[in-house]
Chain A
Amino acid sequence: EVDLVESGGGLVQPGGSLRLSCAASGFTFSDYYMDWVRQAPGKGLEWVGRIRRKVNSDTTEYAASVKGRFTVSRDDLKNSLFLQMNSLKTEDTAVYYCARSPTGGIFDIWGQGTMVTVSS
């Protein structure tokens, strides 16, 4: 069964850092682009960033709101996706989802999400 499971969320102070993980199973992880999407409490969906496959040099793209603060990475040997979040702001408070992308910007499988709360 294809599955994505996020972990690493929690409470962090403004200016702090947090690293989210997304464990993939049931498919060949290295064949897919992977993305992070977030949802602030009671709000809509916001795309955060993506990482392409190794054949595309693991290149990345980011939303302007997180560029320079967040870094998406992957470990194909461990079937894992990561989101390193630095210089966190209160407006980064959200549920963070990882999503699988078979091509282009299509998201076909989503994880269950992990909550990040940035507060003093």
Chain B
Amino acid sequence: DVQMTQSPSSLSASVGDRVTITCRASQGISSSLAWFQQKPGKAPKSLIYAASSLQDGVPPKFSGSGSGTDFTLTISGLQPEDFATYYCQQYKNYPFTFGPGTKVDI
């Protein structure tokens, strides 16, 4: 199975900040990488697929980059509604696997 790791596991930020989350795959997955946002008690929301493509309706303050084994999610101009947990997921190989999550709080 492809193991996914994320760093940091949590971070504290302020409104207006720019934050970057890193995701690493245990083997090359090309650009088969997605990012999700999840708020407490809510379903995940899809943000990015194919490492850097925004899902419909997702504001461009979210951006993704990377390929192979190393990926990043950047959130620019952090707003109160962006405080959440973020997960990466690989879909290159079965079983699809998720990273452990990065909690972004104030």
**Chain A interfacial positions (CB closer than 8 Å to B):** 35, 37, 44-47, 61-64, 97, 104-113
**Chain B interfacial positions (CB closer than 8 Å to A):** 32, 34, 36, 38, 42-46, 49-50, 55-56, 87, 89-92, 94-101
Chain A residues with Cβ below 8 Å from B90 are 105
Judge whether B43 and A47 touch: CB under 8 Å: no
Interchain CA distance A107-B50 in the complex, whole Å: 11
Judge whether B32 and A110 touch: CB under 8 Å: no
Which 5 residue pairs across A and B have the least CB separation, nearest first?
Answer: A105-B91, A47-B96, A110-B43, A45-B98, A106-B49
Judge whether B43 and A64 touch: CB under 8 Å: no
Judge whether B43 and A113 touch: CB under 8 Å: yes
Judge whether A110 and B98 touch: CB under 8 Å: no
Judge whether A106 and B34 touch: CB under 8 Å: yes
Judge whether B55 and A47 touch: CB under 8 Å: no
Chain A residues with Cβ below 8 Å from B50 are 106
Interchain CA distance A61-B91 in the complex, whole Å: 13
Residue pairs across A and B with Cβ atoms less than 8 A apart, 8 shown, are A35-B96, A37-B44, A44-B100, A45-B36, A61-B94, A106-B50, A107-B34, A107-B36
Judge whether B32 and A47 touch: CB under 8 Å: no
Interchain CA distance A5-B58 in the complex, whole Å: 22
Chain B residues with Cβ below 8 Å from A104 are 32, 91
